[in-house]
Amino acid sequence: MKKAADSIQTLLKEKLACYQQLNLVLKAEKKAIGTVDIGMIWETTRAKKDLIGKIEELRNNILVACQNHFPGMDKKTDTFSLGALVHALPLPNKNKIEIRQLKRTIDKEKEIVAHFIKSNRVQVKKHLSVVDNIMALIGNNPAQARYTGKGMVTQGKKNSCLFMAQV
């Protein structure tokens, strides 16, 4: 029993480390989005993909370890949920305490990841709309209303325009 708990704990600690690294990558991504550092954004994208792959691999390894140490456990859990897994582990409570603590810490890290993902998504939309407007201005899209230097709105004319009108 102790060996099984140690094996699962080791995998959970690795999973926690991956989530902590993912948080750091998302923080770097947020900074790169703010400074429009395309090279860094590509780097963070690759790092996120690698970490997500590791997390999925660890998820499978945890499930395999549980099934190896506790045959028939896969029948108790229809889908993989860390909470359901911890609850279904046929271990004494003293062995589950550390596993439960790791699960709570992983859940906190997941919440931070979700927050960064939402925040970064908003930042990307905001910065991309600015870039889109700049590109439309540079491209001289005649269908878009624009402001001239005199503050007048032009529609469909090729006057020298300073700003596009927001539709």
Q: Can you tell me the mean pLDDT for 8-21?
A: 94
Quick count: other Cβ atoms within 10 Å of Cβ 61? 16
pLDDT at 139 over 50: yes
Quick count: other Cβ atoms within 10 Å of Cβ 44? 22
> Which band of pLDDT confidence, cut at 50, 70 and 90, is reported for residue 64?
confident
* pLDDT tens digits along 20-46: 999 999 999 999 988 888 889 899 999
- Structure-model confidence comparison of residues 18 and 158, the more confident one: 18
Q: What is the DSSP string of 56-113?
A: HHHHHHHHHHHHHHSTTGGGT-SS--HHHHHHH----HHHHHHHHHHHHHHHHHHHHH
Closest to 1 in 3D by CA, of 77, 85, 97, 89: 89
- pLDDT above 90 coverage of the chain, percent: 36
- CA 161/CA 167 separation, integer angstroms: 16
CA atoms within 13 A on the CB side of 35: 10
pLDDT at 161 over 50: no
* pLDDT tens digits along 148-159: 555 555 555 444
Q: Tell me what pLDDT residue 162 has.
A: 44
Residue indicated by tokens 């930042």 = 123
Q: Tell me what pLDDT residue 144 has.
A: 58
Beta bridge partners of 146: 154, 164
* pLDDT tens digits along 67-83: 787 776 655 554 567 77
Q: Tell me what pLDDT residue 108 has.
A: 96
Q: Tell me what pLDDT residue 88 has.
A: 72
CA atoms within 13 A on the CB side of 32: 16
